[in-house]
Amino acid sequence: MDECRELARIVESRQALLFGEFTLSSGLKSNYYLDMRRLLGDYKSYRETLELLAYKAESAFKEFDIIVGVATGGIPWAAGLALVMGKSLAYVRLEKKGHGTLGVVEGAPPYGKCIIVDDVATTGASIESAVEVLKGHCEVVGVLVIVDRLQGAGERLKKINIKMESVATVEELFECMKA
């Protein structure tokens, strides 16, 4: 629960939990929004959150070579985490680019074992899409997110034999913020 309290402190300090009417990238409607990009705007909050991610990555996924970010929210977190952990970085584009190499995976050639990183998990559709893109390139040993909204991502990934870990679930985060 210490990681949760620390994350709650960071989220509160950056005013990253917003209330109102929001449409999420999944298309779902929500009365709250976790804007984890606000944590990127302050080097101390960014670094502290990366430390929480690194701790979770080390404890949850023993062996991996590459950290893969999901466009767009996961890319800065994956990049920072790769730097902190001394790992290679790749990211999965939302769609195949129409110029240059025409690639959908950028950065390190994704060979070996990798973890996928995203900021917030809701339904898991974009993460599952990244897993599909990476098949044949690397072995996805798991997924790491800062917050799991508990809206189906974990179950969706479990169906394709992918383990997802989070620094905190949204329920844990709310509890830690109350405390």
Cβ(67)–Cβ(89) below 8 Å = yes
* 3-state SS, residue 90: strand
pLDDT band at 100 (very low <50, low <70, confident <90, very high): low
Q: Quote the pLDDT of residue 1.
A: 52
Global confidence as pTM? 0.93
Q: Quote the pLDDT of residue 94.
A: 65
Average pLDDT for residues 38-42, to the nearest whole number? 96
Average pLDDT for residues 13-42, to the nearest whole number? 94
- What is the spatial distance between Cα 133 and Cα 127, in angstroms, rounded to a whole number? 10
Burial environment of residue 104 by CB neighbours within 10 A (0 to 12, 13 to 18, 19 or more): middle
Q: Quote the pLDDT of residue 99.
A: 52
Whether the pLDDT of residue 101 is over 60: the answer is: no
pLDDT band at 62 (very low <50, low <70, confident <90, very high): confident
Task: Select from 3.40.1190.20, 2.40.128.20, 3.40.50.2020, 3.40.50.1360 the CATH code of 2-178.
Answer: 3.40.50.2020
Q: Quote the pLDDT of residue 95.
A: 62
pLDDT band at 55 (very low <50, low <70, confident <90, very high): very high
Of 148, 153, 71, 64, whose CA–CA distance to 110 is shortest?
64
Q: Quote the pLDDT of residue 26.
A: 83
Domain-wise residue ranges, the chain: 2-178
Q: Quote the pLDDT of residue 145.
A: 98
